[in-house]
Structure 1
Amino acid sequence: MTKVLVLYYSSYGHVRALAQAEAEGARSVPGTHVDIRRVPETVPEEIRQKAGFAADDTPVATPADLESYDAIIFGTPTLFGMMAGQMKSFLDQAGGLWARNALVGKVAAVFASTGSQHGGHEATILSTQIPLQHFGMLIVGMPYSFAGQTTADGIIGGAPYGAGTIAGADGSRTPTEIDLDGARFQGAHVAQIAARLALPDQQEEAA
């Protein structure tokens, strides 16, 4: 059984919607177990309410949880062209895993939500991949075999580096069906690669 974790931070629900689609895609691959978790919130509840943050009852992960998965798909909103501080804080607490090389060889992918098409969408995905490579993880993007990302018929998120959506300046846009399809594609793509990488170990155990 290949174990995949979809780990995200979401303020207004856009990244959460993509996370659910990523999980749906990963679960479509036979022999895959998928968990969805969020990183802890660092914004005080009073500010969350004033800002209109969406309620989220998804269980919270700890850095120690990451070691038990074959693949981890990270989702984050874009804040000033970078990952959200909540996600960065979570990764900063994973130094013990880094010191033990506990994540080396595991599959990783990133997806994101951005307020506008030119609000740092690709920069966020690419820069989020940097610490994952320091952990020794193997980065998976969203290849052009997902043809939806090449359409010019409307505003869509995502890039060859990972799935995504455009939330709009006021957060009123919801992920399009193409955005969600891209997330499903990436989730399945990650699960398939993780299963292939785990196959030699499974064969060795069987022998």
Structure 2
Amino acid sequence: MNEILVLYYSQGGAVREMAQLIARGVESVAGIKARIRTVPKVSANCEATEPDIPSSGDPYVELSDLEECIGLALGSPTRFGNMAAAMKYFLDGTAGLWLKGTLIGKPASVFTSSGSMHGGNETTLVTMMLPLMHHGMLMVGLPYSEPELSSTQTGGTPYGASHIGGTMDDKAISADERKLCLALGKRLAETALKLSV
């Protein structure tokens, strides 16, 4: 079975919910399964602060997950217009895969959540693309043929799925945001399937 790795970091739960929606979109494509993984929280000194095995929820990612996948969906909350330190810490440890060219030619997509409409969603998505492009991955976004990109009053960009959670009220993922997550997962899976032939 071909697998897409859906790798995320989430604190408040919105990015985790987006990951689950993207995984549903992935699995709507025959012959593709989603492998959902997360990364541990890190301290201000950029050291892992959680146990080696999570007590609940999705397992922590291993480098072998990247080696075995035919595509990657990468998600993180917005931190000052960039990905969270925990995700950056993990990606910084993938130089061995870069040296081997493991991810060259595999498709990837990105997704994020922020507290406000202009809270850095698009810059976060773009900065998450950069290490993936250094790995030689092929970026898959959302085309404007997805009608929700034009109708959304919350999240959603051509660079990837996004959610506006609110700074204090933890707004639910909107109907448009949900559809765009599903569409991104499906588009990534379809692309990966075509490229893996």
CA 57–166 in structure 1, closer or farther in 2 if over 3 Å, else same:
same
For residues 32-43 of structure 1, the aligned pairs below 5 Å read: 32-43=32-43
CA RMSD, 1 decimal: 1.6
Q: Deviations over 1:123-148 (max 9, x none)?
A: 00011101100000000011112110
Q: Specify every segment of 5 or more residues in structure 1 that has no aligned partner in the other structure, as ranges.
A: 49-54, 200-207
Q: What is the aligned residue count?
A: 188
Identity %: 41
Please name the residue that 1:151 is paired with. 151
TM-superposed CA distance for 1:43, in Å, is 4.6
TM-score (norm 2): 0.91
The question of whether the paired residues in 2 share the 8 Å contact of 1:25 and 1:183 is answered with yes
TM-superposed CA distance for 1:56, in Å, is 5.5
Please name the residue that 1:174 is paired with. 172
Please name the residue that 2:195 is paired with. 197
Q: Specify every segment of 5 or more residues in structure 2 that has no aligned partner in the other structure, as ranges.
A: 50-54
Query: After TM superposition, which residue ranges in structure 1, 4 or more long, deviate above 4 angstroms?
Result: none
Tell me which amino acid in the other structure corresponds to 1:35.
Answer: R
Q: Deviations over 1:163-199 (max 9, x none)?
A: 0100101152111121111000000000000001112
TM-superposed CA distance for 1:58, in Å, is 1.1
Q: Deviations over 1:63-94 (max 9, x none)?
A: 33211100010011000110000000000000
TM-score (norm 1): 0.87
Q: Secondary structure of 1:164's partner?
A: strand
Please name the residue that 2:162 is paired with. 164
The question of whether the paired residues in 1 share the 8 Å contact of 2:5 and 2:65 is answered with no
Structure 1 or 2: larger helix share? 1
User: For 2:107 and 2:149, how far apart are their aligned partners in 1?
Assistant: 22
For residues 24-39 of structure 1, the aligned pairs below 5 Å read: 24-39=24-39
TM-superposed CA distance for 1:2, in Å, is 2.5
